[in-house]
Amino acid sequence: MDFNDSPEEAAYREKARTWLAQSAAAHRAKWGELKPNTPEHMAAAKDWQATKAGAGYACITWPAAIGGGGGTPIQSVIFGQEETKAGLGYGYFTIGLGMCVPTVMAFADSDTKKRFVSPAVKGDEIWCQLFSEPAGGSDVAALRTRAVRDGDDWVINGQKVWTTGAHYCDYGILLTRTDPDVPKHKGLTMFWIDMRDTAVECRPIHQMSGGREFNEVYFTDLRVKDSQRLGEVGDGWKVALVTLMNERLAVGGSAGPNYREIMKLARQLSGTTGPALKDQAFREKLADWYVQSEGLKFTRFRTMTALSRGQTPGPESSIGKIISANQLQELANTAVEMEDQYGILVDPDQAPAEAVFQQSLMWAPGLRIAGGTDEILKNIIAERVLGLPGDVRVDKDVAFKDMPTGR
């Protein structure tokens, strides 16, 4: 049990810190403070990603030969910590580098890998994950987007939904149905596609949070080459599982205000009987949030320890999102209620802490759904970790085309 850096880790941290001090300042001098989801913000993000890649700080655990840093998982965590402290970190690349590109690396031929991995690491190209559909969210394998073989090509028709970043992405991994006559999991096939193809139409969706980060994506006779297939025909579910497993690692910890920020707010506001920070009910909640956040942080450290000892990480990471998403929602709501009548205001110029709690309140419901709902994650823990029986699956032996459907 050692919480401190080992000498090698400390040296790496020092090196990263020194590099960040200079590079982050230079980056800020060039780009200043930009509003998220603007073209300038995206350009800044790409610039920062390229800077990191040049110094071996992008995709730290990937081999240097493909553009990564050739480092260890612990180094990646250390750099992440220091990058957060330096106040930098853009979200645009998480899905591509965390989920899509690893899937490409696992299933594509060597030319495809050579073509795509390094541009993605440098931030030149961004990827999205085209899995969910109106008929298949939690039950992804119920998706209906059809891919039909036509000589050397496949022709794809259908619709995806809630695809984060589709509107700015260059490529995507797309899960399709290639055989409706077999049970749902057996008739799927995965492809990579060019998002700029004219047969791909992307319509941003207005989210309840007010943002427009995810999209509907339509395919009308989209032609892809058979060489764009990832994995065997009919083996798409196996390929998708690799993506989904990486997803749980990638989305474990979530950004957003934590116990520190709400403590700061509570210090400034008055409560019912004195400063809000002295309210006993609030203090108990604060203690719980601290304990949960630290618990998650140290759980990640346990995963790192397992990795550094050459073990495969356990399922600990699946608990991360359940806790952090729910905590964000409760914490944000407590902060908003603490502001009393004023809490209704969401205007960043008026609301305390630039309305970050109001924004989190409106974003948290999505966090509890994206990347697996609370209920699905609990099923995963129950079935894969604890070994309990699966839910009753009435569609298991039914051909996809005969499956009952709802709305």
Ligand X SMILES: Cc1cc2nc3c(=O)[nH]c(=O)nc-3n(C[C@H](O)[C@H](O)[C@H](O)COP(=O)(O)OP(=O)(O)OC[C@H]3O[C@@H](n4cnc5c(N)ncnc54)[C@H](O)[C@@H]3O)c2cc1C
List contacts with another protein (CB under 8 A): 1-6, 9, 74, 259-260, 263-264, 277, 280, 283-284, 286-288, 290-292, 294-299, 301-302, 304-306, 308-309, 316, 319, 322-323, 375, 377-379, 381-383, 385-392
For residue 210 the two structure tokens come to 């007010």
Question: Residue 145 binds which one of another protein, ligand X, none, with CB within 5 to 8 A depending on kind?
Answer: none
Q: What is the DSSP letter of 139?
A: S
Per-residue b or e along 196-212, where b marks 16 or more CB atoms closer than 10 Å to that residue's CB:
eeebbebeeeeeebebe
CB of 394 to ligand X, least distance (A): 11
Q: Give the residue nearest to ligand X (CB).
A: 137
Among 19, 214, 259, 282, binds ligand X (CB under 6 A): 214
By the rule CB under 6 A, 237 interacts with ligand X: no
- Tell me how far apart the alpha carbons of residues 290 and 219 are, in angstroms, rounded to a whole number: 46
Question: Residue 163 binds which one of ligand X, another protein, none, with CB within 5 to 8 A depending on kind?
Answer: ligand X
- Tell me how far apart the alpha carbons of residues 376 and 136 are, in angstroms, rounded to a whole number: 13
SS3 256: coil
CB of 212 to ligand X, least distance (A): 11
Among 197, 294, 340, 375, binds ligand X (CB under 6 A): 375
CB of 8 to another protein, least distance (A): 11
Question: Residue 162 binds which one of ligand X, another protein, none, with CB within 5 to 8 A depending on kind?
Answer: ligand X
Cβ proximity to ligand X: between 95 and 121 the closer is 95
By the rule CB under 6 A, 349 interacts with ligand X: no
What residues between 300 and 339 interact with ligand X by CB under 6 A?
Answer: none
What residues between 165 and 184 interact with ligand X by CB under 6 A?
Answer: none
Q: Give the position of tokens 């630290």.
A: 294
E strands of 138-177, at which residues? 146-150, 153-164, 171-177
Contact between 56 and 69 (Cβ < 8 Å): yes
- Tell me how far apart the alpha carbons of residues 164 and 214 are, in angstroms, rounded to a whole number: 4
CB of 303 to ligand X, least distance (A): 23
- Tell me how far apart the alpha carbons of residues 313 and 308 are, in angstroms, rounded to a whole number: 10
- Tell me how far apart the alpha carbons of residues 349 and 355 are, in angstroms, rounded to a whole number: 8
Among 103, 129, 189, 299, binds ligand X (CB under 6 A): 129
- Tell me how far apart the alpha carbons of residues 405 and 407 are, in angstroms, rounded to a whole number: 7
For residue 278 the two structure tokens come to 């002295």
CB of 164 to another protein, least distance (A): 26
Among 376, 382, 399, 403, binds ligand X (CB under 6 A): 376
Q: How far is CA 97 from CA 61, 127, 284, in A?
A: 11, 8, 39
CB of 406 to another protein, least distance (A): 19
By the rule CB under 6 A, 245 interacts with ligand X: no
Give Cβ neighbours of residue 201 (< 8 Å, ≥ 6 apart): 217, 218, 219, 220
Cβ proximity to ligand X: between 91 and 348 the closer is 91
Cβ proximity to another protein: between 112 and 292 the closer is 292
What residues between 131 and 150 interact with ligand X by CB under 6 A?
Answer: 131-132, 137-139
